[in-house]
Structure 1
Amino acid sequence: MDQAFLPKGVTLQSSHRISRMHACLKPGRITSQLALGALILLGFIKGVAPVQAAEVIPGRCHMDMCSWFSIEEKDLVGTDRDGALFRVVTKSWRSQHPGGSYDRRTPRRGGGTATSYALCSKTHPALLDAGTPGRWAVNELD
């Protein structure tokens, strides 16, 4: 990945390659944060209309818990011949569903914000998430 896309002073922590199709079709095999990022990134790549800010979107339900998120901000950071880098701010929540009763409404807890970056590129699509302070984890989608 071209480090010119990274925010100033940020270094890479790790790199993981994940199939774009796998990220869309089988999110149970990857982390929910990565699945969320893949959905955001693929929405940018395919030109899907952006989600309205603060709209709460259901994520994955598994092991008596559901995840929820909202896209609060989406800003173009920069472009070059390989693609465009977007800064994405999300809020996330979780809800408990004892006995796997996912159709039953329960209170959401959380609401913390997170900032990540989506590199929209036909040749090197990737998600960048904060790792340890000053370092980022890069997940390349192939």
Structure 2
Amino acid sequence: YVGPCHPLYYEQSVDFSELQELKFVRGVRDFFSMEHHLETVSMGLIDTKNLNHAAYTNSDHLTVNLLLYTDVCSLGLDFMYEPYSQYDLKALPINGCEPFLQVGYVKDPARILSRQAEWILEKFQQML
């Protein structure tokens, strides 16, 4: 993701070879973060140790402001969470990066889902 102050904002895509030249903001690496699983899902194409992490934060607000007002970028999935769609942030595709993430759930047909489970699946389908 890049913001309007980033030199690549008006580009259509970026090459893997260019990633090492960029400055990144990185979130906290916890189990649920994309960064935690990046080494596994990138299939060796991205080594996060070689990226220039200019800022680390656990704040979405700071991440959005860094993307909007500086030349840092953020590595993430091509999925804009609805509350953030109001900002002038652009998902810049990485050339040669094929879709590799599959999302789903398993349900026992003999069991009825709880109201909470039905609600989660409904919200999940709306997001996708």
Question: Which category describes the TM-score, using the shorter chain as reference length?
Answer: under 0.3
Structure with the higher fraction of residues in strand conformation: 1
Report the TM-score, using the length of structure 1 for normalisation.
0.25
Structure with the higher fraction of residues in helix conformation: 2
* Greater relative contact order structure (CA < 8 Å, 6+ sep): 2
Report the TM-score, using the length of structure 2 for normalisation.
0.27
